[in-house]
């Protein structure tokens, strides 16, 4: 058994143990769903940053950096830009509303603003999309285990799912927030060691000059090879503004000021971190030309280019990133299924104890479903693209319009959701080859926004 695998095993056991210990303080659904609304700015900073630095931010961005170069910064950069809007324009408003009306989920907010139908439709769409996100994180965790110990993908996927599901089922947001603080320390320390050491050992500039088939655009920050490449990744920024998992973390803040400071500071750190994975991907292109699987780019360069101890720390950081985002996704799955569907539509009289049990069972169901989906999808990026697209076109206008346009009703919200998702599907699967340059997410966002505003304007004219 090698050093890297031993450290990953010890680290995983430690995460589960911390989560189980914190779970002792979970007395009811309020602690599980919103951590008793007790998160200060430092803990909110760590749990949101840990949620944002996941499979896409590490494995996905490094894989994109391998093929596109420094323009892969936009993968995490778009999340940082979205976080700025969440910190200052969305988060404080939804925190005040959530505290005033004792809201637990984004579904609670949508029903308060638009009614039960909108809540049900959005919950079903997001639940399906969120499974693909969780699948992407599990694919990344399995990739690390595959490179380190030759573990088959199906085994690595199950191992990753067991680790995160165990501690999240026990303590929900309260456990996640504290476990995320530990994960973030390991994550940032690992990348702080890995990036300068890999770059110094690689002599990146000279290696890229001599490396075969390196495109001339490799060092161009604003380069894009088309959809899901370079600056076009900015289309995912809305997903980080209205993500149920991130907004519900804001619900758990102790104050609106904690939301602004905690999420605002993590946006700055995330923008700086965004350079790390692309640089490691570029280094891998210079030292390991010919890789075809983007999932193994980052684990390969960490194992091959670093001494065993440092490589073990860096791999623990990557594994930490995947697990920390998994719990944020399980948070969305558990709360939406238990609060938004079960309690709202199936069992309105469910007491606090029953709701807590259903939330934990929903976590288990979400983890199991994501394992199955992870075995069907090929790459981290393909899995996450589904989620980010669906999230943006389904939630951006209903949330933003509901907060800033007083006269908006369920008609605008439903029109926006229908137009956005229908356009997304048509552009992704129904357009002929000459129109392949059209980005499905952009088209969906434009259609969603237009439908909301057109219905809103038409209703105002009739009033």
Average pLDDT of span 250-260 = 94
pLDDT in tens, 319-360: 766 766 676 677 777 777 888 888 888 888 888 888 878 888
pTM of this structure: 0.80
Residue corresponding to tokens 């089922």: 169
Whether 176 and 47 have beta carbons less than 8 Å apart is answered as yes
Kindly list the distances between the CA atom of residue 436 and the CA atoms of 156, 378, 428, 446, 449, in Å, as whole numbers in the listed order.
35, 21, 8, 17, 22
What pLDDT score does 382 carry?
57
Q: Which residue has the higher pLDDT, 406 or 160?
A: 406
Whether 240 and 82 have beta carbons less than 8 Å apart is answered as yes
The distance of Cα 117 from the centroid of its chain, to the nearest Å, equals: 26
Tell me the C-alpha distance between 34 and 134, whole Å. 20
Backbone dihedral region of 173: left (phi > 0), alpha (psi from -120 to 50 degrees) or beta? alpha
What pLDDT score does 213 carry?
76
**For 44-58, 155-169, 402-416, which range has the lowest pLDDT when averaged over its residues?**
155-169
Tell me the C-alpha distance between 43 and 60, whole Å. 26
DSSP 319-349: HHHHHHHHHHHHHHHHHIIIIIIIIIII-TT
The distance of Cα 66 from the centroid of its chain, to the nearest Å, equals: 21
Reported as a pLDDT band with limits 50, 70 and 90, residue 381 is low
Tell me the C-alpha distance between 207 and 203, whole Å. 6
Secondary structure of residue 39 in the 3-state scheme = strand
CB within 8 A of 156, min separation 6: which ones?
A: 141, 142, 143, 144, 145, 146
Kindly list the distances between the CA atom of residue 63 and the CA atoms of 66, 79, 185, 292, 437, in Å, as whole numbers in the listed order.
5, 17, 23, 10, 22
pLDDT in tens, 157-212: 887 777 767 766 666 666 667 777 777 888 888 888 888 988 887 776 666 666 66
What pLDDT score does 167 carry?
64
What pLDDT score does 335 carry?
77
343-346: Cβ within 8 A, 24+ apart: 344/107, 344/111, 344/116, 344/119, 344/120, 345/116, 345/120
Whether 26 and 175 have beta carbons less than 8 Å apart is answered as yes
What pLDDT score does 173 carry?
65
H or E stretch covering 48: helix 41-52
Secondary structure of residue 302 in the 3-state scheme = helix
Residue 253, phi then psi, degrees to nearest 5: -70, 155
Whether 141 and 156 have beta carbons less than 8 Å apart is answered as yes
Tell me the C-alpha distance between 116 and 285, whole Å. 51
CB within 8 A of 362, min separation 6: which ones?
A: 333, 334, 335, 337, 338, 342
CB within 8 A of 237, min separation 6: which ones?
A: 78, 79, 81, 82, 85
CB within 8 A of 29, min separation 6: which ones?
A: 104, 352, 355, 356, 359
Tell me the C-alpha distance between 463 and 456, whole Å. 11
Residue corresponding to tokens 């965004």: 274
Tell me the C-alpha distance between 198 and 301, whole Å. 8
Which residues is 39 bridged to in the sheet?
Answer: 253
């Amino acid at each position: 058994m090698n050093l890297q695998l031993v450290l990953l095993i010890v680290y995983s056991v430690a995460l589960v143990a911390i989560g189980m210990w914190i779970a002792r303080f979970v007395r009811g659904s309020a602690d599980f769903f919103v951590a008793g609304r007790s998160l200060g700015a430092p803990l909110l900073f760590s749990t949101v940053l840990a949620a944002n630095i996941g499979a896409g931010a590490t494995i996905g961005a490094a894989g994109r950096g391998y093929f596109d170069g420094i323009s892969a910064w936009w993968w995490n950069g778009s999340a940082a830009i979205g976080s700025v809007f969440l910190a200052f324009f969305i988060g404080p408003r939804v925190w005040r509303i959530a505290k005033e009306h004792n809201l637990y989920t984004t579904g609670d907010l949508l029903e308060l603003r638009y009614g039960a139908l909108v809540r049900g439709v959005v919950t079903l769409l997001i639940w399906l999309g969120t499974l693909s996100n969780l699948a992407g994180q599990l694919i990344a965790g399995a990739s690390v285990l595959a490179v380190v110990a030759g573990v088959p993908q199906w085994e690595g996927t199950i191992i990753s799912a067991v680790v995160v599901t165990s501690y999240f089922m026990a303590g929900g947001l309260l456990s996640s927030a504290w476990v995320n603080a530990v994960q973030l320390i390991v994550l940032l320390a690992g990348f702080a060691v890995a990036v300068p050491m890999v770059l110094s050992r690689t002599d990146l500039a000279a290696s890229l000059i001599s490396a075969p088939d390196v495109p001339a655009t490799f060092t161009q920050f604003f380069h894009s090879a088309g959809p899901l490449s370079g600056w076009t990744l900015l289309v995912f920024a809305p997903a980080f503004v209205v993500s149920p998992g991130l907004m519900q973390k804001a619900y758990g803040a102790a104050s609106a000021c904690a939301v602004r400071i905690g999420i605002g500071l993590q946006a700055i750190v995330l923008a700086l971190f965004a350079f790390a994975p692309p640089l490691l991907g570029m280094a891998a292109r210079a030292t390991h030309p010919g890789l075809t699987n983007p999932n193994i780019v980052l684990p390969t360069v960490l194992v091959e280019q670093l001494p065993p101890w440092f490589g073990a720390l860096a791999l623990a950081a990557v594994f930490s990133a995947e697990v920390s985002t998994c719990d944020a996704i399980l948070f969305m799955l558990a709360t939406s299924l238990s609060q938004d569907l079960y309690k709202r539509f199936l069992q309105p009289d469910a007491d606090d104890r029953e709701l807590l049990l259903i939330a934990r069972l929903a976590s288990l169901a979400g983890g199991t479903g994501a394992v199955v989906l992870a075995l069907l999808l090929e790459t981290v990026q393909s899995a996450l693209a589904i989620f980010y697209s669906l999230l943006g076109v389904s939630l951006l206008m209903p949330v933003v319009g509901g907060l800033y346009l007083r006269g908006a009703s369920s008609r605008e919200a439903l029109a926006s959701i229908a137009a956005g998702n229908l356009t997304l599907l048509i552009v992704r699967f129904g357009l002929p080859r000459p129109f392949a340059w059209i980005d499905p997410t952009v088209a969906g966002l434009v259609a969603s926004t237009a439908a909301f505003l057109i219905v809103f304007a038409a209703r105002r004219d009739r009033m």
